[in-house]
Structure 1
Amino acid sequence: MSKLKNEWFDWVKALLIAFALAFIVRMFFFAPIVVDGPSMQPTLHNHDQMIVNKFIYNVSEPERFDIIVFHATPEQDFIKRVIGLPGEHVAVKDDVLYIDGKPVKEPFLQEIKDQKKPNQTLTGDFKLEEIPGGYETIPEGYVLVLGDNRNNSADSRVLGLIPEDTIVGKTSFIYWPLDRFHMLDF
């Protein structure tokens, strides 16, 4: 009877340790997220399931073109692409992204640009000064984000700049559906 009791105790202890480790990993390192809506198409599709690296920005800063998850409201997280970094001026004119007045290629948009009709714009022209907040450069502690589906995205053009302390993490791995299973290139 004592041997059976010890075996049960070992199993309970192992399960408690496993749950504790899973909780720690989920809370502080990685978490699943489901893409909700078309704002990141064609890169991400509605209902893609991804893993968010919640730890990475504890050891590094967001970089241009990172795909991040952030708290848009207390109840809702958004997923968008980092376009502008602290100290930069951002503008889009005639579907060309300008950072500090220099054109920057956005290779993840090339497929969409190739398919658009003449006189159709992907991204309406805007300057940093025109988005909520009216900044001339992005202040420290903030980033400017845009969805890849520029004509159907609630991003910094609507929300304003995103405080870095609202960023949950970076995502670059789609694990479901299986036919979309892959790491993103940028």
Structure 2
Amino acid sequence: MAQWRRFAKAAWIGLPPLLFVKDRWMWVYCVEGRSMTPTLNPQESFIDRCFRDFVLVHRNPELRKGDIVLLRDPGTNELIVKRLIAQEHEVVRTPNTGHLFVPEGHCWVEGDNGKLSVDSRAFGPVPAGLLEGLVLSVVWPIWRARWLEEDGPESPPLLTETGEDRMRVMVTSHLAPGAAIEEDEDDE
């Protein structure tokens, strides 16, 4: 009986600070699926395929394009990991519609493995409120532990602000949220 009391006392003292840190600052999350391969959950060897990546997630950071983020899937409300491609008031290139204006309060996310990723290319811009945190590093398995860099595999580039593209960004900033820009035949 004395052991249970010591355990209960330790849990009573230790659990609130741990929950506070998890809720307000950082926690560890297990990455499911292969949508972020090869950055997360690489598949090069049999050993790699046997272990999923556990990542350190920082809550409420300042996010920038290229960051890997944890967010809620808008369709299922499950946690997913994707790369932040564009934030509000930016224009992103999409395979189906050409260029798309990201509306205020939204962002555009994509998986590094486009063939296996269900992301903004499928469900469109994501409300920024669904972003849960910034993925900082891989902490497990130990042989893949590392800090994650901002730049990842080549993704559809944002419009550069030079020449004609700069003018197009200026014009599209007045489009309705989610509106697409038609591609001219001579642009390609």
Structure 2 letter corresponding to 1:54: R
Say whether 1:176 aligns with 2:140.
Answer: yes
Contact 1:39–1:147 (8 Å) recurs in 2: yes
CA distance 1:163–1:75, change in 2 (3 Å): closer
CA distance 1:128–1:18, change in 2 (3 Å): farther
Which residue, 9, 16, 22 being the options, matches 1:20? 16
CA distance 1:126–1:150, change in 2 (3 Å): farther
Quote the offset at 1:55 in angstroms. Answer: 2.9
Q: Distance in 1 between matches of 2:87 and 2:138?
A: 25
Aligned residue pair count: 138
- TM-score, length of structure 1 as denominator length: 0.66
Map 1:103-182 → 2, pairs under 5 A: 127-129=98-100, 137-182=101-146
Structure 1 letter corresponding to 2:113: N
Contact 1:82–1:143 (8 Å) recurs in 2: yes
Q: Distance in 2 between matches of 1:126 and 1:42?
A: 27
Higher relative contact order (CA 8 A, sep 6+): 1
Which residue, 42, 51, 65 being the options, matches 2:38? 42
Structure 2 letter corresponding to 1:50: V
Q: Distance in 2 between matches of 1:180 and 1:78?
A: 20
What are the Cα deviations for residues 60-107 of structure 1, in whole angstroms up to 9, with x where unaligned?
Answer: 3x2101100111045411100000111111115xxxxxxxxxxxxxxx
What are the Cα deviations for residues 100-136 of structure 1, in whole angstroms up to 9, with x where unaligned?
Answer: xxxxxxxxxxxxxxxxxxxxxxxx565344xxxxxxx
Helix, strand or coil for the counterpart of 1:151? coil
Q: Distance in 2 between matches of 1:10 and 1:35?
A: 35
Which residue, 67, 86, 89 being the options, matches 1:87? 89
Work out the percentage of aligned pairs sharing the same amino acid. 28
Contact 1:30–1:55 (8 Å) recurs in 2: no
